[in-house]
Amino acid sequence: MGTIIDGAHWADISRQETAQKVHALKKEGVTPHLVVLLIGDHPASASYVRGKEKAAQSVGITSDIMRFPAETEEQVILDTLDRLNQDPLVHGILVQLPLPAHMNEQRVVARVAFEKDVDGFHERNVGALSIGTNRIVPCTPLGVMELLRYEQIDLAGMHAVVIGRSNIVGKPMANLLLQANATVTICHSRTKNMRDWTRQADLLVAAVGIPRFVTADDVKKGAVVIDVGINRVDGKICGDVDFSSVESVASKITPVPKGVGPMTIAMLLSNTVRAAQMQQQG
């Protein structure tokens, strides 16, 4: 039976490190400040955003949530972002996704000043990650890398298979694993005979968005399995991995909840401090 990776514990450790950095910044007269834009009434978003607010407070980061009705014109959001970009007291800006259908996600995300883009979604931050001059790295894949580091998993030479190629998770995840010298395979909805790939994985990262998509038959004995998925089934959240079957095959596995999710939030705080530090240094 595999060891369960305690994401809640590691997120706690990470937050303590971040709190110390916040303390040091405050001595220099800088209080890291995060602004979250919540547009529309996507039910999960409201609860995530409250979680972010609470976590920020716990490490001494101040935060504002700006709420906009779903029918808000995109221009209002763009103007708001322009103002926040100019405001020296704002260090981090996050636009909660998904956006209402009438908004152009790419255009909105591109409007956040890249220095304040604590999600790491701006093309400048994406480009930096891609050429290895990392600036701000997307929270979820960064959180996975931190978990692997805390668990002392040496990725060099490992075959890492990532299921999913989104800009938020799959692609940056693959880039980070490549930087850590893993051999990386990315699977997606057009991959043929996917099991042939996943069964070769020493590290398997599932970021698909389908409940319990990965089963024991997809996993090599002794593999490390990271479940990024957050799915709501019958009012409960579950991952993209069929935990009960895969647990007995994997050497280590993240649960859902209390796996990658809490690390994502911890990395948002860390990115906010990083952004404040970079703005402080000019």
Ligand X SMILES: NC(=O)C1=CN([C@@H]2O[C@H](COP(=O)(O)OP(=O)(O)OC[C@H]3O[C@@H](n4cnc5c(N)ncnc54)[C@H](OP(=O)(O)O)[C@@H]3O)[C@@H](O)[C@H]2O)C=CC1
Ligand Y SMILES: Nc1nc(=O)c2c([nH]1)NC[C@@H]1CN(c3ccc(C(=O)N[C@@H](CCC(=O)O)C(=O)O)cc3)C=[N+]21
Contacts of 72 (CB under 8 A, 6+ apart): 39, 100
Amino acid at 214: V
Residue 165 assigned ligand-binding role: yes
> 124-163 mask for ligand X (x: CB under 6 A)?
----------------x----------------------x
Catalytic option among 21, 116, 117, 119: 119
Nearer CB in complex with ligand X: 107/188: 188
Compute the least distance from the CB of residue 213 to ligand X, in Å: 7
Compute the least distance from the CB of residue 248 to ligand X, in Å: 23
| Residue with token string 């490490």 | 59
Is 96 assigned a catalytic role?
yes
Contact status, residue 228 vs residue 166, Cβ threshold 8 Å? no
Near ligand X by CB under 6 A: residue from 34, 77, 148, 187: 187
Establish if 190 lies at the interface with ligand X (CB under 6 A): yes
Nearer CB in complex with ligand Y: 178/237: 237
Q: Is 269 exposed, middle or buried (0-12, 13-18, 19+ CB in 10 A)?
A: buried
Q: How far is CA 181 from CA 19, 93, 169, 172, in A?
A: 30, 31, 18, 14
Q: How many CB atoms lie within 10 A of CB 187?
A: 23
Q: Is 185 helix (H, G, I), strand (E, B) or coil?
A: strand
Can you tell me the distance from the alpha carbon of 144 to that of 199, in angstroms, rounded to the nearest whole number?
Answer: 20
Return the range that interacts with ligand X (CB under 6 A); candidates 67-75, 85-93, 100-108, 188-196. 188-196
Is 79 assigned a catalytic role?
no
Residue 166 assigned ligand-binding role: yes
Nearer CB in complex with ligand Y: 97/110: 97
Establish if 256 lies at the interface with ligand Y (CB under 6 A): yes
Catalytic option among 96, 116, 227, 240: 96
**How many Å is the Cα radius of gyration of the chain?**
19
Near ligand X by CB under 6 A: residue from 32, 40, 92, 170: 170
The DSSP secondary structure of 116-177, one letter per residue, reads: GBTT--SHHHHHHHHHT--SS--HHHHHHHHHHHHTT---TT-EEEEE---TTTHHHHHHHH
Near ligand Y by CB under 6 A: residue from 5, 94, 161, 273: 94
Is 217 assigned a catalytic role?
no
Residue 164 assigned ligand-binding role: yes
Establish if 189 lies at the interface with ligand X (CB under 6 A): yes
> 195-224 mask for ligand X (x: CB under 6 A)?
------------xxxx--------------
Contact status, residue 103 vs residue 39, Cβ threshold 8 Å? yes
Can you tell me the distance from the alpha carbon of 116 to that of 25, in angstroms, rounded to the nearest whole number?
Answer: 16
The CA dihedral of 238, 239, 241, 243, to the nearest 10 degrees, is -40
Nearer CB in complex with ligand Y: 140/198: 140
Q: What residue ranges bind ligand Y (CB under 6 A)?
A: 47-48, 51, 94-97, 119, 139, 230, 237, 256-258, 261-262, 264-265
Just list the catalytic residues. 52, 96, 119
Extract the annotated binding site: 164-166, 230
